[in-house]
Structure 1
Amino acid sequence: MKKLIDFPYNSILVLGLAKSGTAAAKLLANNGKRVIVNDLHAKDTDQAVQQLNKLGVQVVTGAHPTSLLDKVDVVVKNPGIPYENIIVSEAELRNIPVITEVELTSYLITNPIIGITGSNGKTTTTTLIHEMLLRSSKQAKIAGNIGKVATEVAEHLEEDETMVIELSSFQLMGIKTFKPKVAVFLNLFEAHLDYHKTLENYANAKANIFQNQDGDDFIVYNADDQRVVELVSQARSTKVPFSRNNVSIDGAWCDQDYVYFRKEKIIAQKDVALVGTHNLENILAAVCAAKLMGATNVGIAHVLSTFTGVKHRLQFVKNINGRLFYNDSKATNVLATSKALASFSQPTILLAGGLDRGNSFDELIPYLKHVKALVVFGQTAHKLEETASKAGIEIVESVDNVKQAAQTAYQLSSPKDVILLSPACASWDQYRTFEERGDMFVDAVHTLE
């Protein structure tokens, strides 16, 4: 198991448990550091708390006393905790650095890292890159916001292994030295503004993915997204574009028939298994990153011809009596749902709703032309009903949860219809995670026959 190298702090406050906080606290304790953990909602009887106590870690629950910052060198913050938190804001007043768990990987490994960020498509692209490397006989492990804590993966990396890591804006705000060999910037749209407050703040957080890179590193970026192009113009690393719309001799591109990397044909588009034009962007980004790290055309083509999607991201669930069910629970914003809807032309029943972040859903209207019915749930049900009315959708049903939504949609459907769970909202009003929401939907679908 790898140890921290030249980590400059000895007394650390870990703010927030969950997976990343628990992993960070264990790592730091195992490296002989003085560690205090503070979590507002944890209980002393929780398994994670008891495990940390056995390692000599003090865990303070139920409140955020700022006195915990006395004699602390650095705060390791759970990515989801806002910077307005009393501990975080007080730490900044005291000039105590605030980092996230992913920053610790910089002190654990010298292995090459491929980091992927963007408003949408991160999980699919991360998974594609990982699979492309493995199919090309390259050693790689997957980590980050995709569900596997970065430090836990990094601790067990072999010398010849590459880390492929999905990175959220929340994680990227807390890096100081983290530097991927290949950074991938997929796209930039308004998202998480309840956390970042402005699009500029959000964009700057995303741009941190390349802030520490130099000329020996690569930034793979979406040349069709002007906001991304403007941000990447600041990068010191070697720029590798991808484009659906233009020939990109320095990167990945496509025409009506093939996907290319520079001048090489990679795969015929008719042989690509993933549906959706948005997934074509993810594919082009993945091709760039994989090729830069030595993946073969044969390995890449095999993955693209067999990979049908990640769980909860436009995941095909089942064909029941001619109805095609898709689980897109990871679509937590309007843009993601728009792209999911654009992937289909046949009559569709859309299942949507969730946490109300104050936004409207009128941007969905151009994508609702083939939606024959809408089944809504959660805090935003009423807003989505209003959007359906504006779009001229006559059949709208309101239900309590996604299980009922699946049942109702099936009753409303006809053969050859698509039944699509693509909520356009975060899950936290009813479910702990989008995975829990998607799993409930999948389970419900399997009971319909």
Structure 2
Amino acid sequence: MKRVVVLGAGESGVGAAILAKKLGMDVFVSDKSVIKEKYLKQLKKEGIAFESGQHTHGLILNANVVVKSPGIPDHIPFIKNIKEAGISIISEIEFAAQHSTAKVIGITGSNGKTTTTMLTHHLLKQAGYNVGIGGNIGESYAEQVANQNFDKYVLELSSFQLDGIELFRPHIAMITNITPDHLDRYEYDFDKYIDSKFRITKNQKASDYLIYDADDPVIVEGIKKHSPKAQLVPFSLQTKQEFGAYVDQKDIVINIRKKELRMSISKLSLQGKHNTKNAMAATLASQLLKARKQTILESLENFEGAEHRLEHVLKVNGVEYINDSKATNVNATFYALECMNNPTVWIVGGVDKGNDYAELYPLVREKVKAIICLGLDNTKIKAAFGSIVDFIEEVESADAAVKIAYKLADKGETVLLSPACASFDLFESYEDRGRKFKDAVRNL
């Protein structure tokens, strides 16, 4: 009997364990941290052996295959020990894909991938397809393979998940953009991070598709370097595409198989240049899968965006409060500030991932009237913006940030939480940070 050891008992790990159990494998789950109650219940219910708060080497090094949580870095000594023992280490994505015949639309990128994944799923579901959504979002892909019968999956894929693939082959791959992010996991080498993103297309064939942003020089160079076998499907705001998507004055134009689909940008439910690109990418995928034009157009108009991504919370005394907690890097915050049309009180900060704030300077000069630092160490933010913005205040809770913002913002202005940093200094996750911000706004 094949022995599968799962490292990490979060959403992906427990999902992989449930699938392994269903396939009749000998499965063991090991988590160095204390396993959360929700996942403990699932493991006990399924009768899966586990350990919490430790890794017992003897119980792990006898595995045929190890399914590793994306949160565990490859460079730690224990992972090296497993590799030296000749044991294959894969991601939950790889493990689930090996046991599923469903078509996969795989979406990666530094920013925009959650919205694009949700939008693509929305378009396909509205078009009547039997389609699941997973990966870095929602319920575990592996658990859905175990317990559902979807014909298609739309998967949001992080670079960490792609690092653990071997044979995984999406029928449609999508790269929304590539900007420096998570460089602490890639030895501060941007090229290694880029290579990681391009793993999404490494197993694709000529019958598959790669949808990508033709305006992104990093992706364009990456395509030259990696020479994908898949058919290239570009989208662009800047240049006309014979096969792909582009903007013609105030319309999106989609050209696939000599069929043109045209839609006014003003009708999109999500506004902003980056969302125009997300809509193009999602529409291209839907068109390639032969969804009806009319259904696509209606679905683009009625889609509601992702929580914690430029999410409108409330208007209080004429001030708009926006939750963009999912902006954990500079590029995501650039998009958010670009969308601001009124003077903005900007809440920023957290765990810096090697950020370079220089690209934000023009937008901050133009749009930001005050900065509230929500983090334990704000030295870098103060140094970056101290000479640009007159008012910078430091706080250590979402509640305090919102109370100060309330005093600073005047009618017709905006309060924007767009941290450009990870959340782990003061919060459990970006979701926790976003929810606490929203609670604080509602309590004003």
Q: Under a length normalisation based on structure 1, what TM-score does the superposition of the two structures give?
A: 0.92
Selected match of 2:380 from 379, 383, 405: 383
Contact (CA 8 Å) 1:120, 1:187: kept in 2 or not? yes
Name the structure 2 match of 1:193.
183
Selected match of 2:418 from 418, 422, 429: 422
CA distance in 1, matches of 2:138, 2:429: 11
Shift, 1:87, TM fit: 2.5
CA distance in 1, matches of 2:155, 2:38: 27
* 1:232 correspondence with 2:228: no
Give CA-to-partner distance per residue, 1:65-120, whole Å, 9 cap, x none.
43334331111000010012233111222221110111122233211111100000
* 1:184 correspondence with 2:174: yes
Tell me the secondary structure at the aligned position of residue 26 of structure 1.
Answer: helix
Contact (CA 8 Å) 1:136, 1:296: kept in 2 or not? yes
Alignment of 1:391-410 (within 5 A): 392-410=388-406
Give CA-to-partner distance per residue, 1:42-80, whole Å, 9 cap, x none.
26x956346535655432333334333433111100001
Contact (CA 8 Å) 1:65, 1:87: kept in 2 or not? no
Name the structure 2 match of 1:20.
12
Contact (CA 8 Å) 2:213, 2:219: kept in 1 or not? yes
Selected match of 1:276 from 257, 266, 272: 272
* 1:164 correspondence with 2:161: no
Name the structure 2 match of 1:39.
31
Which residue identity does 2:410 align to in structure 1? S
Which residue identity does 1:339 align to in structure 2? Y
CA distance in 1, matches of 2:419, 2:58: 42
Which residue identity does 2:243 align to in structure 1? D
Shift, 1:231, TM fit: 2.3
Selected match of 2:123 from 106, 126, 132: 132
Selected match of 1:440 from 436, 441, 444: 436
Name the structure 1 match of 2:344.
348
Shift, 1:376, TM fit: 0.9
Selected match of 1:338 from 301, 318, 334: 334
Moved more, 204-213 or 113-122: 204-213
Contact (CA 8 Å) 1:259, 1:268: kept in 2 or not? yes
CA distance in 2, matches of 1:291, 1:157: 25
Structure 1 gap segments, 5+ residues each: 1-8
Moved more, 172-181 or 261-270: 261-270
Shift, 1:401, TM fit: 1.4
Which residue identity does 1:42 align to in structure 2? V
Shift, 1:133, TM fit: 1.2
Which residue identity does 1:312 align to in structure 2? H
Contact (CA 8 Å) 1:105, 1:178: kept in 2 or not? no
Structure 2 gap segments, 5+ residues each: none
Which residue identity does 1:384 align to in structure 2? I
Shift, 1:143, TM fit: 1.0
CA distance in 2, matches of 1:54, 1:271: 47
Identical residues among aligned pairs (%):
37
Return closer, same or farther for 1:62/1:86 CA change in 2, 3 Å cut-off.
farther
Name the structure 2 match of 1:104.
95
Name the structure 1 match of 2:254.
261
Give CA-to-partner distance per residue, 1:315-339, whole Å, 9 cap, x none.
1112222211111000001111011
Contact (CA 8 Å) 2:211, 2:284: kept in 1 or not? yes
* 1:241 correspondence with 2:234: yes
Name the structure 2 match of 1:114.
105
CA distance in 2, matches of 1:447, 1:26: 41
Return closer, same or farther for 1:244/1:389 CA change in 2, 3 Å cut-off.
same
Which residue identity does 1:200 align to in structure 2? D
Runs (4+) of structure 1 exceeding 4 A deviation are 53-56
Which residue identity does 2:83 align to in structure 1? E
Shift, 1:418, TM fit: 1.4
CA distance in 2, matches of 1:179, 1:142: 16
Contact (CA 8 Å) 1:337, 1:423: kept in 2 or not? yes
Contact (CA 8 Å) 2:378, 2:394: kept in 1 or not? yes
